[in-house]
């Protein structure tokens, strides 16, 4: 099996190791499964019912609306943290 070297923040590595241990697996196996999920086509027929129900719910929402919402939300949060 080929090896892959990644540069990851130390806190992220510690958290990933704790999570993997709690799940009874390894960080390598978690990464392998995650990359496997990313690399295969998404099949909506296999999606949970709630995801199928929500699909297309925001179809009429302008693309920029969510970005504006996030900017307002996190800008306000950031300003509060600075006080």
Within-domain flag for 41:
yes
Within-domain flag for 1:
no
Look at residue 77 in the predicted model and tell me its pLDDT: 64
Within-domain flag for 33:
yes
Look at the chain and report how many structural domains it folds into. Answer: 1
Structural domain boundaries enclosing 67: 10-82
Residue in 31, 45, 43 with CA at minimum distance from that of residue 2: 31
Within-domain flag for 50:
yes
Within-domain flag for 23:
yes
Within-domain flag for 3:
no
Q: Consecutive 10-residue runs of the chain (83 residues): their mean pLDDT?
A: 92 96 96 92 88 87 86 75 49
Within-domain flag for 2:
no
């Amino acid at each position: 099996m080929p090896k892959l070297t990644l540069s990851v923040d130390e806190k992220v590595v510690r958290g990933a190791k704790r999570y993997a241990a709690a799940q009874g697996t390894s960080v390598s196996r978690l990464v392998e499964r995650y990359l496997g999920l990313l690399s295969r086509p998404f099949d909506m027929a296999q999606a949970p019912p709630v995801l199928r129900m929500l699909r297309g719910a925001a179809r009429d929402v302008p693309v920029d609306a969510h970005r504006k919402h996030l900017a307002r939300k996190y800008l306000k949060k950031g300003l509060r943290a600075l006080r």
